[in-house]
Amino acid sequence: MTANPWLITLHLITLFIWVGHLLLTPRVIAYAVSRPESEREPLYTWLRRSWNLLSPAGLVVLATGLLMLFGVGWPGDRGILDYLAPRDNGAPTYWYITFHVKLVSATLLMLWDFWMGAQIFRLSRGAAPRRAWALATLMALSGALLAYVAAWLSLSALGLGMTSRYVGYGLVLLAVTGGIVAGRKLGRTDSRAKYMALHGVAAALVVLIVILIIARPLAFGGDTV
């Protein structure tokens, strides 16, 4: 599908801004919570303003992505039908798989962004950060996606079609369990560790999206979807 060049340019520019915000802000939060109380307020003020200014870039990314998805481009494009056609001559299409992984990854990144904003505004009011299940759930879902796609990409490239599916399912269960346990443990403290964990998971999701964008179609090894 060929998108309007101005639309895709706006989409990419705002994507770079938003990704930069997602990667930088958790590190600043982690630095802020480790400083003495007297030094935190200027950092919290910067974080509030930064989040208010840069977080809406994610909404622009979503809006421009949906416009391209629904066929705002050159005449003859089928829009979303090009992405949702699951098979071509019986085999899963590369764009079908890429679209769904990108969609889930972007949704998780938006949830991470909202959770991060809630943390910033609670910290700036002097309240304790929200703990427990929100962080644990996000870590479990993100870990599950990363584990499954990593197993599927690596093993499918070796021609292990069904094996890659079952290994992926096993890793999903491990990742969900690990994400819940780690999220609960990190959520019990106000240490910088959980914000650094946010930075790491966001970076991994971004890398996953980039790999799927620039990678050439793989030999999927049979029924892997």
Q: Tell me which of 185 and 63 has the higher pLDDT.
A: 63
Distance CA 94, CA 71 (A): 19
Distance CA 126, CA 200 (A): 26
| Pairing state between β 91-92 and 87-88 | antiparallel
Least confident of 47-51, 141-145, 191-195: 191-195
* In the predicted structure, residue 67 carries a pLDDT above the cut 70: yes
Q: Note the pLDDT tens digit of each residue in 153-196.
A: 777 666 666 666 677 778 788 888 888 888 777 777 667 778 88
SS (H, E, C) 48-106: HHHHHHHCHHHHHHHHHHHHHHCCCECCCCCCHHHHHCCEECCEECHHHHHHHHHHHHH
pLDDT at 86: 54
**Strands (E) located in 138-183:** none
Asked if residues 212 and 150 have their Cβ atoms less than 8 Å apart, the reply is no
Take residue 224 and report the two structure tokens written for it. 């892997």
Compare 216 and 154 and report the one with higher pLDDT: 154
pLDDT at 80 over 70: no
> Residue 17's pLDDT is what?
92
- Higher-confidence position of 88 and 174: 174
Q: What is the mean predicted confidence (pLDDT) over 205-216?
A: 72
What is the residue-averaged pLDDT of the chain?
76
Instruction: Work out the average pLDDT over 117-128.
Output: 83
Rounded Cα distance, 127 and 26, in Å: 18
Confidence tier at 53 by pLDDT (50, 70, 90): very high
